Structure formats: structure tokens, C-alpha cells
Amino acid sequence: MKEDYWNVEDEQVVEKTGKKKAEWIKILTAFKAEDKKSNDVVAHLQSEYNVPRYWARTLTTMYIKGKE
């Protein structure tokens, strides 16, 4: 796995998830992802939005790292 794997371009995110990074940030903010365990956030993205596990982890990490 490459270092800083969560630093992805919008085009990649749209291609793999169907939504832009800004849309995912809104979704994760509404879900209050910053208050939850990362595994719970990943599971939520997988079950509610059918996001592949790798991309659910990437989006979760991107969101958390952006909050730091």
C-alpha cells in the first residue's frame, strides 16, 4: 500500500465510488464520522453506499486526516 494512500484525485474517487470527495465529506459529516470508530465508518460506507472496502477505508482515512 502506498504511503498517504488517502491522497487521491477526485477523478479516481468518482470512478470507484460514483461520488466526488466533497460529496463523501458531506455524507461523513452528516454521519458524524469523527465521533465513531474508523471500522464503524468503513462498515457504514460499505453497507449503506456499497463502497468497496479499500475505498471505504480510503474515504474514512481521508476524512479523518482532513480533520486533524
pLDDT tens, the chain, 68 aa long: 556 777 889 999 999 999 999 999 999 999 999 999 999 999 999 999 999 999 999 999 999 988 66
pLDDT on residue 5? 72
pLDDT on residue 2? 57
pTM: 0.88
Quick one: how many helices (H) and strands (E) in the chain?
4, 0
CB contact set of 46 (below 8 Å; sequence gap of 6+): 52, 53, 56
| Per-residue CA distances from 18 to 1, 10, 35, 67 (Å) | 22, 10, 25, 23
Query: DSSP 3-state assignment of 20?
Result: coil
